[in-house]
């Protein structure tokens, strides 16, 4: 059986979380792109992993909007969208802390990943399993 998840947050709360979350993944992707332009090493490759997760999440969210599934999602779509963004933000935060303190990288990487993690995560965790009306 496919579980369905639903969020009951208001439009205002959605926008309050959506806008900084979007700013976060955009800032992270731009910063990773700039780092990759400087040269590829193992750490740059690792930084790209959260970026790929964020891109997967964004593509999924766009497809959800097209399908008009904003507030009610199958489990697979929830995890592929907000789940991927949240995981990308979490992994990006860990890697960014290392980059900031060990490698002396810009704080933009950390800010972007934290914004993505917190605000995509807040929306992700607002979804609750939708109970079947018949059961």
pTM of the model: 0.91
Which helix (H) or strand (E) element contains residue 44?
Answer: helix 42-66
At residue 134, the pLDDT reads 55
At residue 78, the pLDDT reads 96
**How would you class 61 by CB atoms within 10 Å of its CB: exposed for 0-12, middle for 13-18, buried for 19 or more?**
buried
- The residue ranges of every structural domain in the chain are 9-127
pLDDT in tens, the chain (135 residues): 678 999 999 999 999 999 999 999 999 999 999 999 998 899 999 999 999 999 999 999 999 999 988 799 999 999 999 999 999 999 999 999 998 888 887 899 999 999 999 999 999 999 999 876 555
């Amino acid at each position: 059986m496919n579980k369905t998840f639903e969020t009951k947050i208001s439009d205002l709360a959605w926008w309050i979380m959506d806008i900084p979350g979007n700013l976060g993944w955009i800032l992270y992707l731009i910063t990773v792109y700039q780092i990759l332009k400087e040269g590829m090493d193992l750490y740059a490759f690792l930084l790209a992993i959260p970026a790929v997760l964020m891109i997967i999440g964004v593509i999924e969210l766009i497809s959800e909007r097209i399908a008009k599934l904003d507030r009610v999602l199958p489990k697979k779509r929830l995890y592929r969208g907000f789940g991927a963004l949240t995981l990308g933000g979490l992994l990006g935060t860990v890697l960014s802390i290392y980059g900031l303190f060990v490698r002396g990288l810009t704080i933009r990487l950390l800010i972007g990943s934290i914004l993505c993690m917190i605000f995509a995560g807040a929306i992700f965790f607002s979804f609750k399993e939708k109970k079947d009306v018949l059961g």
